[in-house]
């Protein structure tokens, strides 16, 4: 399952996007493919986007699915490292 993240994901959009992404995962609950969050189009973000990704990860793992993030912008990867959560948002290899 591919979850396409928006170009702008800041505190103002985080709650709505978190709900939308969790709903999309629940609607595809029978699907056992990995959940892949595509962050390649993200150009404006803050630490709230990391919270959205972590919430998606929790939801995916609760459903017994693998969670990956592809195309995470380098600045956001650095921010995840500063917060000590980079390992929780792995890239597919």
- The reply to whether 22 falls in a domain is yes
Judge residue 81's burial from the number of C-beta atoms within 10 Å of its C-beta, 0-12 exposed, 13-18 middle, 19 or more buried: exposed
Residue 92, pLDDT score? 82
Mean pLDDT for the chain overall: 92
**Domain CATH number, residue 66:** 3.30.750.24
Residue 53, pLDDT score? 96
Q: Which H or E run contains 50?
A: helix 47-62
Residue 25, pLDDT score? 82
What secondary structure letter does DSSP report for 12?
Answer: H
Structural domain count of the chain: 1
- The reply to whether 93 falls in a domain is no
Tell me what the mean pLDDT of segment 62-80 comes to. Answer: 94
Confidence of residue 90 (pLDDT cuts 50, 70, 90): very high
pLDDT in tens, 25-56: 888 767 788 899 999 999 999 999 999 999 99
- The reply to whether 50 falls in a domain is yes
Half-sphere exposure of 36 (CA within 13 A, CB side): 11
- The reply to whether 57 falls in a domain is yes
Residue 21 belongs to what domain range?
2-88
């Amino acid at each position: 399952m591919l979850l396409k993240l928006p170009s702008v994901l800041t505190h103002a959009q985080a709650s709505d996007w978190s709900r939308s992404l969790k709903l999309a995962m629940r609607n595809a609950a029978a699907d056992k493919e990995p959940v892949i969050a595509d962050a390649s189009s993200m150009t404006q973000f803050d630490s709230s986007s990391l919270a959205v990704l972590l919430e998606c990860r929790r939801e995916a793992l609760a459903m017994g699915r693998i969670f990956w993030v592809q195309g995470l912008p380098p600045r956001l990867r650095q921010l995840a490292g500063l917060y000590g959560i980079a390992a929780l948002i792995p890239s597919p290899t």
